[in-house]
Structure 1
Amino acid sequence: MKLQGKLALVTGAYRGIGRACAEALAREGARVIATDIFTEAPSYDTDILYRQCDVGSETDWERIGREIDAGDGKIDILVNAAGVAPTKDGVHDVTMADWDFILRVNQTGVMLGMRMATARMLGKGSLSIVNISSIWGQVAGTGQIAYHASKGAVINMTRNVAVTYAKQGIRANVILPGLIDTEMVRVQKPEMNAATLALTPMGRIGRPEEIADGAVFLASDASSFVTGAVLPIDGGFTAQ
């Protein structure tokens, strides 16, 4: 197993991409702490420890950090997969409430997770951070100004951490999912999904497990010379 003996923490792991990442890491031998906003744990297909965590809450991250400290104080893998897209508003009509909420989860949540993990691992060994952004962090679609802003920020925050800590055993990479069969995508307007699908060269929607496979690679020692990478898993969407 690629990740035997490693401790991994995955956010947004109740369902969708986060859940697929948590289960894939566990199948590769990692001890996984899965977190999400929901109080009750989902039923995973592997042995995973679930903890409630609002990623935009500094207090919740401090609680997670204390739990790690109660062990050996080390974390080997962090996958920031939590994300929201409750509004598709453009810049002319986005409300500050929606803007603040989306950036709080998608951007601040990633920063707080990376802060928690890097603070514990400086001088203690290797750490692999895998952030889940989006194709909409690299290219533009219509509307969704807050979502685009947050996902673009995740890409550059990842690069910043990669460069800042490269000599200290901390790697950070970011995945850009394309159109993936998740709950978030299923509740979008069918015409929105159809438009993205029509521009996807492979002509199909992706599976959460395909994102998880990329996360396992970036989390493992198989990618030991990879940091600051931006990995599209998008059926060729951003290659155009």
Structure 2
Amino acid sequence: MVFDLREKVALVTGGAGGIGEEVVKLLRTHGARVASVDLAEHKEPADDTFLPLKASIASEDDCNSAIQKVIIHWGRIDILVNNAGVMDNMAGVADTSNKLWQLVIDVNLNGPMYLMRSAIPLMQKNLEEHKGVIVNVASVSALRGAVSGAAYSTAKAGLAALGRNTAWVYRHEGIRCSTVMPGGVVTNIIKNSNAKYDKRDIPQKQCHDCMPGMVSALDVAEGILYLITATGVNGEELVIDRGWMMA
């Protein structure tokens, strides 16, 4: 299916790899101009439809600066995808240091809030009926206690709550906000796994069967595209986990 995003400007965080990179590709495929924010280096240079930005989502100043650079470059913002995130050490609250807690909250919750706080007033200035859409990338850890550590679970649950409130408050202003809740994403789980066997030697299609809830980055990106383009959908919390939550 082809969606017409030719008049839209998007900002995607964590766009240099994983889910974010797939989101950037999909949005550009459908005609959007996309700014990608990441601390990592981007693989592609800037062009008429792509603006790579290096910034820390944990920094309020960096977040505000990224939004302003998009406005200077393209004059508007229609789509915000809060994808950037950092994992914790899978520890319970008694074994979570203040330093780790603050890092995970800053990146996974405060950063999206900073960006939303800067972007929403700009979306409100858009003249179209559908002024803007925000998609936050949370996790099934917001719903289940055994998926991650205390810091990550708390941050993602907070992000989901932030999305619900935003969807309600701005529902009459043409601004929508929804959340995706992936299970394990293949690329990130492989990178962060402490399993005794090395899943890097397992083809991606087999990885879907070797661990429950595993999905590809593209699976999640397609869910995000749906939430962006389905104008009647607001406040949705879309679980993408191959049915793992049904267990």
Same fold (TM over 0.5): yes
Cα pair 1:7 1:30 within 8 Å, conserved = yes
Alignment of structure 1 residues 139-154 onto 2, 5 Å = 139-141=144-146, 144-154=149-159
Alignment of structure 1 residues 71-150 onto 2, 5 Å = 71=73, 73-124=75-126, 125=128, 126-141=131-146, 144-150=149-155
Q: What SS does the corresponding residue of 1:56 show, helix, strand or coil?
A: coil
Cα pair 1:75 1:127 within 8 Å, conserved = yes
* CA distance in structure 2 between the partners assigned to 1:239 and 1:157 by the alignment: 25
* CA distance in structure 2 between the partners assigned to 1:152 and 1:79 by the alignment: 17
Alignment of structure 1 residues 25-40 onto 2, 5 Å = 25-38=27-40, 40=41
The verdict on how the C-alpha distance between 1:197 and 1:103 changes in structure 2, with shifts beyond 3 A counting, is farther
Provide structure 2 residue ranges, at least 5 long, that are not aligned to the other structure: 200-206
Aligned match for 1:24, one of 26, 33, 40? 26
**Residue identity in the other structure for 2:134:** I
Alignment of structure 1 residues 194-205 onto 2, 5 Å = 198-200=211-213, 205=214
Aligned match for 1:229, one of 226, 231, 236? 236
Corresponding residue of 1:11: 13
Q: Displacement, 1:175?
A: 0.2
Cα RMSD for the two superposed structures: 2.3
* CA distance in structure 2 between the partners assigned to 1:92 and 1:105 by the alignment: 21
Q: Displacement, 1:146?
A: 0.1
**Residue identity in the other structure for 1:165:** Y
After TM superposition, the score normalised by the length of structure 2 is: 0.86
Q: Does 1:54 align with 2:63?
A: no
Q: What SS does the corresponding residue of 1:50 show, helix, strand or coil?
A: strand
After TM superposition, the score normalised by the length of structure 1 is: 0.88
* CA distance in structure 1 between the partners assigned to 2:189 and 2:106 by the alignment: 18
Q: How many matched pairs?
A: 231
* CA distance in structure 1 between the partners assigned to 2:190 and 2:143 by the alignment: 18
Larger mean CA deviation between 65-74 and 54-63 belongs to 65-74
* CA distance in structure 2 between the partners assigned to 1:211 and 1:143 by the alignment: 19
Alignment of structure 1 residues 174-213 onto 2, 5 Å = 174-183=179-188, 185-190=190-195, 198-200=211-213, 205-213=214-222
Q: Displacement, 1:183?
A: 3.5
Larger mean CA deviation between 211-220 and 178-187 belongs to 178-187
Cα pair 1:137 1:149 within 8 Å, conserved = yes
Cα pair 2:63 2:111 within 8 Å, conserved = no
Corresponding residue of 1:219: 228
Cα pair 1:179 1:185 within 8 Å, conserved = no
* CA distance in structure 1 between the partners assigned to 2:147 and 2:138 by the alignment: 17
Q: Does 1:70 align with 2:75?
A: no
**Residue identity in the other structure for 1:43:** E
Q: Does 1:155 align with 2:160?
A: yes
* CA distance in structure 1 between the partners assigned to 2:218 and 2:212 by the alignment: 22
Q: Displacement, 1:187?
A: 2.4
Q: Displacement, 1:43?
A: 3.4
